[in-house]
Structure 1
């Protein structure tokens, strides 16, 4: 099965894209099978590709443009030495996020930063959490005395 890069990807990224999809499909399929999932690598490849196409290059949860040139460039050894600063460089790295907390090939594409923050929350839990963060920020930044 072919997973050609979407037309909106730059040509340099388009060359990396099929291998990236394949590696992610293998990794996610194996992980989900250990968690009771029953999909195969081809199901995962197609689901990832469809999620990428549907994303139009944007983070599903925030709408931010993703840095597609970063796919396939993350290095765990560099990350171990770079810590937080290294992570910030990859904040908008496109990642594959399970739409729901089930071991199945049902994905959306989002930034690494978003995926890290969302972790294992359901979409509803993520929205409720974000609302609490915004409400709290508005309360603590409101001027004293109501003016």
Structure 2
């Protein structure tokens, strides 16, 4: 991820604190420093491409504050936000093991492990191919 050092450090600290607090509520026991180290390693392993869908992520979105948007701008902003890099657990477990993916993938993956998510995606493709739906809107 290409970010200004100040922005990266701020993002790294915020992400580490967020995941550590959330995981402690669920029984996780690692420290914020451990999370920072693991997230930093994941960020350096990331080439800016979502590891699941192969599409580029937009790290520049991490540099912007969330200004008040007009209604006409909200749809464009939401579309851009889908490509914003996110920190997620690699295995869905409460351990200090993270990967960087787009918000769109993170939202779809939820708490599934990598294997569960990929199998789910395969099931979707098999089902959609078998039933030959043209668009998601045609599903009733």
Name the TM tier (shorter chain).
0.7 to 0.9
Q: CA RMSD in A?
A: 2.4
**Of the candidates 4, 8, 26, which is equivalent to residue 17 of structure 1?**
8
**Of the candidates 86, 90, 98, which is equivalent to residue 89 of structure 2?**
98
Distance 1:78 1:136 in 2: 41
Distance 2:31 2:58 in 1: 28
Matched residue count: 131
Distance 1:70 1:64 in 2: 15
The alignment's TM-score, normalised by the length of structure 2, stands at 0.81
Residues 26-51 of structure 1 show CA distances to partners (whole Å, capped at 9, x for unaligned) of: 11111111111111111010100100
Structure 1 residue runs without a partner (length 5+): 1-7, 143-147
- Residues 95 and 112 in structure 1, CA contact (< 8 A), matched pair in contact too: yes
Who is 1:3 aligned against? none
Structure 2 residue runs without a partner (length 5+): 135-140
How far the C-alpha of 1:118 sits from its partner, in A, is: 0.5
The alignment's TM-score, normalised by the length of structure 1, stands at 0.77
